[in-house]
Amino acid sequence: MRFAVAFLLISASVSAQTKTRNILFVMTDGLRRQEVFQGSDAALIERKPPVSREALLPFLWGTMASQGQVFGNRAIRSDAYVTNGLNFSYPGYNETLTGFADARINSNDKVPNPNVTVLEWLHGKPAFRGKIAAFGAWDTFPAILNVQRAGFPVVAGYDPLTVPPVTPTIAFLNRLKVETYAWESEAFDSFTFHTALEYLKQHRPRVLFLSLGETDEWSHAGKYPEYLRAARRVDDYLKVLWETVQSIPQYRGSTTLLYLPDHGRGEAPVEWKSHGQKIPDSKYIWMSFLGPDTPALGERRDTAPVTQSQVAATVAALLGEDYASAVPKAGKPIEAVLGRK
């Protein structure tokens, strides 16, 4: 269920080598690599022509792939996968945000995360204090990010955004969340996205994390057309985010966008609806990067595997901070994303 966006920086010795000053960290829950790399699945669309990946995800393939890097197309020997062995949401978000799997994180229960995420780690540094925020459609994010300990705003599920100024737009979005019911634990992506976008415009954080969830909800419900529409809508949101930051001097030319899911899914015609330990294929994911430090290598092929556990250190390294040394059990940064090979 859940998707997400964030902004981040590496250590003093590396910071002079990176141009990234801000990070947009976006995740969408459970979007399959099959649609990302192949477009709509012919086994799941009745009496309709298939939709190409470029038509389904025009920003990903028209901008991120052409100007950045996309990993995870197993057909051309580019593997991306989770290491937690559970292949569902909370373990996936923990691995993504901390850089390591934790056997204690074995359910989606709202248990405060005992681990410090890279967002919290960055927030502890003077350069990022008060400059990180997280928005999630899923109401478990306050636990995943351990909001009481982390100290930065986490707005999730149906929670209102109360950080002043509460503009008329924010007040209206807060009202819509109360009046419009989606799922018990998850709001519609539109409310989460537009709230995050307004926060970005008002507060200019250096790290913005955004997680959306309709791709997971509609697939669990077996509603493939809605799942495809949700995937396309997230792609449209990415375009809006990217164009917005390029219009603001603080962000223009100094922002990296990363985009990935928390887990994969099974194959059509049945297992695509779900994921988890009993569906081994759901460990395979994809990830994409676009920014001033990432060479435009496009869709990666014949490359070493990358893992979800490498994302946290990569985000920090792009910002000039050495998370990998501070947290030795975390995965190491993805060197190609940093332009190191």
HSE at residue 256, side-chain half, CA atoms within 13 A, is 30
**Is residue 5 within 8 Å of residue 135, measured between CB atoms?**
yes
- Residues 231-242 as b/e (b if ≥16 CB within 10 A, e otherwise) read bbbbbebbeebb
- Walk along the chain (341 residues) and give the pLDDT tens digit of each residue: 444 444 343 333 344 489 999 999 999 999 999 999 999 999 999 888 999 999 999 999 999 999 999 999 999 999 999 999 999 999 999 999 999 999 999 999 999 999 999 999 999 999 999 999 999 999 999 999 999 999 999 999 999 999 999 999 999 999 999 999 899 999 999 999 999 999 999 999 999 999 999 999 999 999 999 999 999 999 999 999 999 999 999 999 999 999 999 999 999 999 999 999 999 999 999 999 999 999 999 999 999 999 999 999 999 999 999 999 999 999 999 999 999 87
SS3 annotation, 40-54: CCCCCCCCCCCCCHH
CA distances from 12 to 294, 318, 321 (A): 19, 12, 7
**Is residue 59 within 8 Å of residue 285, measured between CB atoms?**
no
What is the full DSSP assignment across 6-63? ------HHHHTT----EEEEEEETT--HHHHHH-S-TTT-SSS----HHHHSHHIIII
Number of Cβ within 10 Å of residue 313's Cβ equals: 24
Dihedral of alpha carbons 95, 97, 102, 108, sign: negative
pTM as predicted:
0.94
For residues 300 and 51, give the distance between their C-alpha atoms in angstroms, rounded to a whole number.
Answer: 22
Beta-strand runs (E) in 54-131: 69-71, 80-81
HSE at residue 309, side-chain half, CA atoms within 13 A, is 17
CATH class of residue range 12-206+215-271+288-338:
alpha beta
Is 273 in a helix, a strand, or coil?
helix
For residues 247 and 250, give the distance between their C-alpha atoms in angstroms, rounded to a whole number.
Answer: 9
Number of Cβ within 10 Å of residue 211's Cβ equals: 34
Q: State CA 208 to chain mean position distance.
A: 10
